[in-house]
Amino acid sequence: MSVVRRLPVVADLTLVTAGAMTANIAGYLLQLLASRWLGVTGYSPFASLLAVQLLCAVPALALQNVVAREIVRGAPLAAARGLALRCAGLVAILALVLVPVVSAVLNVGLAASAAALCAAPVLVLLSGEQGVLQGRSRFRELAMVLGGAGIARVTPALIVLAAGGGTAPALWAAAAGIAIAAAAARRAADTTSVSTSSPAATALPPQPLDPGGADPRPPLGSDAADLIGTPSDSQGAGGKSASNLSGRARKYVGDVGVLPVFRAAQVQAALMALSSADLLVSRIVLSEDEAGRYALGAIAAKIAFWLPQAVGVVLYPKMAQPQHSARAMRSALAVLVGVGALGVLGAAVAAPLAPLLAGQDYAPVQGYLWLFALQGALLAVLQGALLSAIAADRTAPAAITWIGLAMGVTVMLISAHSVLTLITIATATAALTTLVISVIALRTARTGNESAATVPDSGPDGT
């Protein structure tokens, strides 16, 4: 019996999108004001460390996927939080090791590097609580946590910067704000656990956005059979009791540990690395002033990348169904291309406003903003293609993304000596990688569609 997945409920999707957009707008405001207050030279290390922070957030976003899935399947709250604590511990150890490495590679102080990286384990804990809210279908609370976390992170940093503080104090203040947001999210999750008795027996929640707006979520079904999965032949057709389900989920979380988080992170890590590599390379191949201008242009790329996230959220459940995946994939790519084209046009029209908002020091980059927006739009299309791979539980396209990243970075390090050449290489890398993966994803979805047509009784995973 094939599983029919529900499209996200409009009200819930609107709430979570509003929360995610609040966080994104707060992040853009931080970058914009920091570019003015720190100046061209001071903003470059600040923006580079924010990019490092984004890469370190990948395990946090993956953890939210896993925690939400396990909560829906009946895992107890303590087990989910135990998984979050283990992941936070591993991330903390990794961050400690990376502090001197990041400091040396980006030529920034140890205090600033530590401030950026210490936020990573706190983000893991925050995402774990967001996963609990997502798994319990508490989308009003999730939206408040998403928006509140963005404000809590940005507000202390802006206060420090406005008072004349530098990169390190601002990043330490931001980390403190994230810790406060994590505590508030835990309280919200504890409150919802009182009124949520059996997650596995409830209707499936719609797909929310991730804290940054960019993180695709794994497919969730629309009924208990989809959540549990198809029983094996040895189990028979009968369902399990609620107590057996809870025990099975508890054992599953304990046995697998952090491995599901690692698997969920690999595709997203490849995408995030590709979207941030050029900003990191700019610190190596460009002068301080040029790197600062490149960081400002990269804001246009980030906006174009995060703007159409709701497209994947709405079409993702259809991508998870082999009989509908090809059509959903084509629809997603078509909409993403259309939104991307409008974004590029908007960046070209609004380019003269950049010096007015960020200062005349950034006037030389205004003519390239459309190219930055094109890079972000291409990466948004790439994310749509990768979403179909995640929906079908296929992670091979991540390898292609890593290959494209390696090739692009190599060319950047050898040939990029100005803002124009660097963004041109980065855009060409995004275009080539997106084209290859989109073609593969469309062919794979078409094959899955044909298979589903010949085998109507496929399991809920479509394999």
| DSSP designation for 202 | S
Angle value at C-alpha 112, between 109 and 116, nearest 5 degrees: 140
Q: Residue 200 in contact with residue 240, Cβ under 8 Å?
A: no
What are φ and ψ of residue 431, in 5° steps? -65, -45
**List of residues 6+ apart from 71 with CB closer than 8 A:** 77, 80, 131, 132, 134, 135, 136, 199
Q: What pLDDT does residue 231 have?
A: 33
Examine the pLDDT at 126 and tell me if it is beyond 80. yes
Which of 40-44, 127-131, 179-183 is predicted least confidently?
Answer: 40-44
**List of residues 6+ apart from 183 with CB closer than 8 A:** none
Q: What pLDDT does residue 449 have?
A: 55
What are φ and ψ of residue 272, in 5° steps? -65, -40
Q: What pLDDT does residue 457 have?
A: 45
Quote the tokens at residue 94.
Answer: 């990794």
Q: For residue range 12-65, what is the model confidence (pLDDT) as tens digits?
A: 667 777 877 888 888 888 888 888 888 877 888 888 888 788 777 788 877 876
**List of residues 6+ apart from 177 with CB closer than 8 A:** 152, 153, 154, 155, 156, 157
User: Could you give the C-alpha distances from 244 to 27, 30, 200, 239, 251, in angstroms and in order?
Assistant: 44, 48, 12, 10, 11
**Quick one: which of 327, 316, 302, 342 has its CA closest to 426?**
302
Give me Rg for the CA atoms of the chain.
22
Residue at 27: amino acid letter: G
Run of H or E residues at 96: helix 77-106
Residue 163's CB: how many other CB atoms inside 10 A? 10
Q: Residue 53 in contact with residue 242, Cβ under 8 Å?
A: no
Band the pLDDT of 178: cuts 50, 70, 90: very high
Q: For residue range 343-359, what is the model confidence (pLDDT) as tens digits?
A: 899 888 888 877 776 66
- How far apart (Å, rounded) are the C-alpha atoms in residues 81 and 132? 9
**List of residues 6+ apart from 408 with CB closer than 8 A:** 274, 277, 278, 425, 426, 428, 429, 430, 433
What one-character-per-residue DSSP string does 252-321 give?
HHHHHTTHHHHHHHHHHHHHHHHHHHHHHHHHHHS-HHHHHHHHHHHHHHHHHHHTTHHHHHHHHHHHTS
126 vs 251, higher pLDDT = 126
Examine the pLDDT at 219 and tell me if it is beyond 50. no
Q: Would you call 396 helix, strand, or coil by DSSP?
A: coil
Examine the pLDDT at 229 and tell me if it is beyond 50. no
Count CA atoms within 13 Å of residue 245 on its CB side. Answer: 20
Examine the pLDDT at 327 and tell me if it is beyond 80. yes
Mean pLDDT of 95-124: 90
- How far apart (Å, rounded) are the C-alpha atoms in residues 216 and 315? 11
Q: What pLDDT does residue 393 have?
A: 61
Q: Render the burial of 378-417: b for 16+ CB within 10 Å, e for the rest.
A: bbbbbbbbbbbbbbbebeebbebbbebbeebbebbeeebe
Q: What pLDDT does residue 85 have?
A: 92
Q: Would you call 57 helix, strand, or coil by DSSP?
A: coil
